[in-house]
């Protein structure tokens, strides 16, 4: 028996007669799919009331709202169900217009970029998304479709659109238009301003509820906070942060393919590590205790262990094993469960590691516990307020979140560190070495029209080359005294719970 159950709703407004032809066609179609299904005809005085009542009474794991006139092939319902069942989306809007993104620009500007087609009501939801979004709607007329689109974006559900072929003679009267949609748009904005909707998921950095869907990437949504300008994933995957510290002895991991164009050469990584170590020498005397969180290939640890009492941790077993193969003292552990058995550390480094942690407040609290008073934190991360990042953000969105979960802005990072008990010493742009092979690949993908010119310029430049990727380097010292207890704030309402 199939584990997928489908509830099809046919909303009828006023005294309309039951659509027996459409209902029979839907039942025959789903009987051939093997899904458990139910077809419900919902009679109400308004479209919004019909949607809310039908969703509350539906028992299926996937809820489809269809048209009583059925102006499209019945297989369009199956396509929408397949997109939800496959996990590709949580909400599907059907459209009869291939250029749907160009219609109603004013509504899209003031509301959301993805709107349903006002001429057809075909929509599909996962049961969770349907009850969450439809249950929050307040409007009664056709503007309820706009409200559904607004709330789906506000609460961070993945939305996809499918095009269906419709019979123009069977299309119903549009539920909203470019001018008539301004009335429900105003009502939606006023309801949101007066907090008549449930608050959106709060930002994990500044705890603000002024968050919005910024971009949709494969399998997830990138959210943006209007207050702190941070970007973060809508859903964080379950990690192994709760596992105990362990040192697993296994065979050494073979090196990566030397001809891989997207990887940095060993020379570039080692020169970057030497550059980072030079900055540390200015603040930390020799033979001090140094902890590196996220050892990666161990190039920095190999250089730092000659001058400092070096300890490294990395939650990835392969990275920890590779670093131990170089003779380094490295533990396979996450920052949250690492226990320091020696004196407090004089310095801790996080080179592009904080972006991978789902709870930055808790992570910095552990860093503060591991540092001695007056100890130094060296941190590098992307800056979402930087000009280079803003210039390439849309093109690099999926790549940036391939491994990262939160990208910070400069102002948010300052506030985060100060609230966590640190005093900022300096914030400057961060530069790293990149070999010509990597730069040629990067330019060929993103700027193919000037790639030939740049390749000629690269021939006269040193290899590897010192460049910036829009990152910043932060140096902060631990203050004495207790820090702000952000755990108490987060216990009131989790930032990532609907």
Please write the tens of the pLDDT for every residue from 59-102. 999 999 999 888 999 999 999 999 999 888 899 999 988 777 78
- Contact criterion met (CB below 8 Å) for 437 and 265: yes
Beta pairing, strands 345-351 & 289-293: parallel
Domain 266-492 falls under CATH 3.40.50.150: yes
The token duo for 281 is: 């020498």
Long-range contacts of 274-278 (CB under 8 A, 24+ apart): 274/303, 275/431, 275/432, 275/433, 276/300, 276/349, 276/351, 276/378, 276/380, 277/303, 277/304, 277/307
Instruction: For the chain, give every residue range classified as CATH 3.90.550.10.
Output: 5-193
Percentage of the chain beyond pLDDT 70 is 87
First to last CA, the chain: 31
- What mean pLDDT is predicted for residues 248-266? 42
User: What is the reported pLDDT for 489?
Assistant: 45
pLDDT(497) > 50: no
Residue 16 scores a pLDDT above 50: yes
Q: What is the pLDDT of residue 15?
A: 59
pLDDT(212) > 50: yes
- In this prediction, residues 406-425 reach a mean pLDDT of 93
Gyration radius of the chain's alpha carbons:
27
Provide the pairing of β-strand 5-13 with 36-44: parallel
Arithmetic mean of pLDDT over the chain: 84
Determine the CATH number of domain 5-193: 3.90.550.10
Structure tokens at 257: 């393919």
What mean pLDDT comes out for the span 268-297?
91
pLDDT over 80 (residue 446): no
Burial 191-209 (b: 16+ CB within 10 A, else e): beeeeebeebbbbbbbbeb
Mean pLDDT check: name the lowest of 94-98, 253-257, 463-467, 481-485.
253-257
Angle at 148 between CA 224 and CA 30, to 5 degrees: 120
């Amino acid at each position: 028996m199939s584990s997928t159950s489908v509830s099809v709703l046919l909303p009828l407004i006023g005294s309309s007669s039951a659509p027996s032809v459409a209902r029979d066609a839907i039942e025959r179609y789903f009987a051939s799919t093997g899904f458990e299904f139910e077809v419900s005809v919902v009679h109400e005085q308004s479209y919004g009331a019909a949607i809310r009542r039908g969703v509350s009474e539906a028992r299926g794991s996937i809820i489809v709202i269809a048209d009583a006139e059925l102006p499209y092939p019945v297989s369009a319902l199956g396509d929408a169900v397949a997109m939800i069942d496959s996990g590709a989306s949580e909400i599907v809007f059907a459209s009869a217009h291939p250029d749907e993104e160009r219609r109603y620009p004013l509504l899209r500007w003031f509301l959301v970029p993805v709107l349903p087609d006002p001429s057809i009501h075909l929509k599909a939801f996962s049961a969770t998304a349907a009850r969450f979004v439809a249950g929050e709607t307040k409007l009664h007329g056709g503007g309820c479709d706009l409200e559904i689109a607004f709330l789906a974006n506000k609460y961070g559900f993945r939305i996809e659109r499918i095009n269906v072929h419709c019979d123009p003679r069977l299309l119903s009267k549009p539920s909203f238009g470019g001018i008539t949609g301004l009335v429900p748009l105003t009502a939606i904005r006023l309801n949101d301003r007066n907090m008549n909707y449930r608050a959106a998921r709060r930002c994990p950095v500044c705890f603000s509820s002024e968050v919005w869907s910024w971009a949709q990437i494969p399998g997830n949504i990138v959210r943006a906070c209007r207050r702190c300008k941070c970007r973060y994933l809508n859903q964080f995957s379950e990690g192994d942060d709760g596992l105990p510290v362990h040192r697993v002895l296994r065979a050494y991991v073979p090196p990566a393919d030397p001809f891989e164009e997207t990887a940095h050469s060993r020379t570039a990584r080692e020169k970057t590590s030497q550059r980072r170590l030079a900055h540390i020498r200015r603040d930390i005397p020799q033979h001090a205790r140094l902890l590196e969180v996220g050892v990666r290939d161990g190039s920095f640890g190999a250089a730092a262990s000659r001058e400092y009492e070096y300890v490294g941790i990395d939650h990835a077993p392969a990275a920890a094993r590779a670093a131990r193969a170089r003779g380094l003292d490295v533990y396979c552990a996450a920052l949250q469960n690492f226990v320091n058995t020696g004196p407090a550390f004089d310095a801790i480094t996080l080179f592009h590691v904080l972006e991978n942690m789902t709870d930055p407040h808790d992570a910095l609290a552990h860093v503060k516990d591991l540092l001695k008073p007056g100890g130094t934190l060296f941190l590098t991360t992307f800056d979402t307020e930087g000009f280079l990042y803003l210039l390439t953000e849309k093109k690099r969105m999926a790549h940036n979140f391939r491994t990262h979960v939160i990208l910070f802005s400069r102002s948010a990072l300052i506030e985060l560190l100060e609230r966590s008990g640190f005093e900022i010493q300096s914030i400057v742009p961060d530069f790293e070495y990149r070999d010509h092979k990597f730069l040629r690949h990067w330019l060929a993908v993103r700027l193919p029209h000037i790639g030939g010119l740049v390749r000629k310029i690269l021939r006269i430049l040193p290899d590897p080359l010192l460049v910036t990727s829009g990152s910043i380097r932060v140096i902060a010292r631990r203050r004495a005294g207790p820090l702000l207890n952000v755990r108490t704030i987060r216990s009131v309402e989790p930032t990532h719970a609907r």
